[in-house]
Amino acid sequence: MQELKVQPIRNGTVIDHITAGRAVAVMRILGLPRPGSTSTITAAMNVPSSRGRKDILKIEDRELDANEVNKIALIAPNATINIVREYEVSRKEHVQLPEKVSGLVKCPNPNCVTNHEPVRTQFLVVARDPVKLRCGYCDREVADVADHVA
Amino acid sequence: MSFQGRHVCHIADMTVADVDRVLDAAERLLPAARGERTLEAAKGKILATLFFEPSTRTRLSFESAMHRLGGNVISVAEPGSTSATKGETLADTIRMVSSYGDVVVLRHPREGAARLASRYSRVPVINAGDGAGQHPTQTLTDLFTIRKAKGEIRPNTVTIAGDLKYGRTVHSLAQALAMYGAEMVFVAPESLQVPADMRQHLDAMGARYRLASTLEEVVGETDVLYMTRIQKERFPDLDEYRKVAGVFRVTPSLLAEGKKGIVVLHPLPRVGEIDPAVDDTPAAKYFEQAAYGVPVRMALLAEILGLKGVA
């Protein structure tokens, strides 16, 4: 039996199957750790699994909302979200990247109108793994999505 | 399919069939564009032009086109005189302007501005240039000029030279030529070559193109030589501008080495890319190209406004 490297959590969220090396980026876009929060956050990186290496993130006392799940989909398209209550997985879902992404990403083109006018950005998903987006205003393609999540 | 009421923000908003339809109508509108026929089809219609950047040809040709169709024009004369200088958002400006006219023509310094405008406008928006983005009506004029000079668009090798990075006319034109299946050669200093995004997009379209660094090496295989100005105003660093300004110049002796029947186009203004001695040669088509801006924009306005009995 494999040794348990990470303690189970009582309540919160476990994000599994994060693309290896992306756990820190996921933490950054989720704003973790929250200022003032004392919740425990555990990151496991390069964990062996049946589908190669992966990262895992355990966040105690916090359940992610849909907007946060969408953000994760942008940088870790194969991640699964496990909502844990009293040590049991009460809900498990795969992140799903929609065909269009609104407001979550900032256009990297400094002269794009969205960087100068108060308007929600809109991107088309042109590739899914790795994720590549195209700005719905200026057509700029974004490959390094993690660097541009708003 | 009619495109009455549609926005034209991007050349990809039109199909080859749409473009052909506009170019065919422009051909029939040539006499009216020259003032030899008087039209009243657009009587009672108002074109609102909103230019946040300076323009001579595009604005005048749009205004002339609307007048030639029998319609009226309202304009904001100076970019600095709009309420944008008071901090009004583009969305609010467009909401207001689109309630004053039947079609809005917009030029703006930011990429994607026309698309943003189209989302807030009550009437069709035509992009008259957005930053280094798109300039679809210039492209229609370019295609019309190629067709007039060469009969067809597809079988030509079109060499596009100069500022291929910041030049919005280039971005629209290259996509349109790819739609038609014409062969393209892009000639530019390395720092001003076609951006990687654009190349990927052309690759995805199956476009036939190659890159070159001098006019001399490609002039012998070129049917249409499309020159562009190196745009000083788009360079953040003036030293970079000085390094590349004046690198390419079309002269009668260059054209003497060119393919038989080669023609030279330029969206104008030029600042030295074409020797004035070329003006009097049969290859020079850039002043005709500027004149064709009127019938082409008449045809586009007629389609968008759904005017009957125009051409």
User: Which ipTM value was assigned to this complex?
Assistant: 0.90
Domain B11-134+292-305 has CATH 3.40.50.1370: yes
Helix or strand run (H / E) with residue B60: helix B57-68
Judged by DSSP in three states, A29 sits in helix
For chain A, residues classed under CATH 2.30.30.20 are 100-148
Domain segments of chain B as ranges: 11-134+292-305, 136-290
Those residues of chain A that have pLDDT short of 70 are 1-6
B260 is catalytic: no
Can you give the pLDDT at residue A86? 94
Contact A119 B91 (CB under 8 A): yes
Report pLDDT for B288. Answer: 97
Asked if the Cβ–Cβ distance from B111 to A136 is below 8 Å, we say no
Cβ atoms of B48 and B101 closer than 8 Å:
yes
The partner residue sitting opposite A137, judged by closest CB among B89, B109, B116, is: B116
Checking if the pLDDT of B171 tops 60, the result is: yes
Q: Which residues pair with A47 in a beta bridge?
A: A54
> Looking at the domain that runs over A100-148, which CATH code has it been given?
2.30.30.20
Band (pLDDT 50/70/90 cuts) for residue B2 is confident
Q: Tell me if the bond preceding B269 is cis, omega within 30° of 0.
A: yes
Contacts of A26 by beta carbon, 8 Å cutoff, 6+ apart = A15, A18, A55, A57, A72, A75, A76, A79
Interface list for B 219-278 with A (CB within 8 A): none
pLDDT tens figures, B208-238: 999 999 999 999 999 999 999 987 877 778 8
Give the separation between CA B305 and CA B143, rounded to whole angstroms. Answer: 22
d(CA A132, CA A144): 8
Using an 8 Å CB-CB cutoff, list chain A residues near B113: 113
Whether residue B112 and residue A112 make contact (CB cut-off 8 A), yes or no, is yes
- Residues near B152 by Cβ (< 8 Å), separated by ≥ 6? none
Kindly report the CATH class assigned to B136-290: alpha beta
Contacting residues for B8 by C-beta, under 8 A, at least 6 apart: B14, B124, B125, B126, B127, B136, B137, B300, B304
* Contact yes or no for B133/A138 (Cβ under 8 A): yes
Give the separation between CA B106 and CA B123, rounded to whole angstroms. 12
Q: What is the pLDDT of residue B255?
A: 97
Whole-angstrom Cα distance, residue A107 to residue A128? Answer: 18
* B167: amino acid identity, one letter: G
pLDDT of B1 strictly over 90: no
Identical fold between B11-134+292-305 and B136-290: yes
Residue B34 has pLDDT above 90, yes or no: yes
Give me the architecture of the A12-94 domain, per CATH. 2-Layer Sandwich (3.30)
pLDDT of amino acid A4: 53
Using alpha carbons, list the distances in angstroms from residue B263 to B96, B135, B272, B281, B303.
Answer: 44, 22, 17, 10, 29
- Residue A102 DSSP one-character state: E
Nearest C-alpha in B relative to A112: B111
- Whether the CB of B111 is below 8 Å from some CB of chain A: the reply is yes
Sign of the Cα torsion A28, A29, A34, A39 reads negative
Q: Catalytic: B59?
A: no
Which of B7, B110, B170, B198 has the most A C-beta neighbours within 10 Å, making it the best mutation to test the interface with A?
A: B110
CB distance A76 to A18 below 8 Å: yes
Q: How confident is the model at residue B77 (pLDDT cuts 50, 70, 90)?
A: low
Asked if residues B112 and B190 have their Cβ atoms less than 8 Å apart, the reply is no
Selection from B269, B232, B227 nearest residue B56 by Cα? B269
Percent with pLDDT over 70 in chain B: 96
| Model confidence band, residue B126 (pLDDT cutoffs 50, 70, 90) | very high
Q: Is the pLDDT reported for residue B262 higher than 70?
A: yes
**B33 or B235, greater pLDDT:** B33
pLDDT for residue B105: 97
* Contacts of residue B175, Cβ cutoff 8 Å, sequence gap at least 6: B11, B12, B201, B202, B205
**Which one of A17-26, B276-285, B302-311 scores highest in mean pLDDT?**
B276-285
Please report the pLDDT score of residue B56 as a whole number.
87
Pick the closest to residue A43 from A35, A52, A32, A31 (CA basis): A32
Residues of chain A with CATH 3.30.70.140: 12-94
Distance CA B235, CA B241 (A): 6
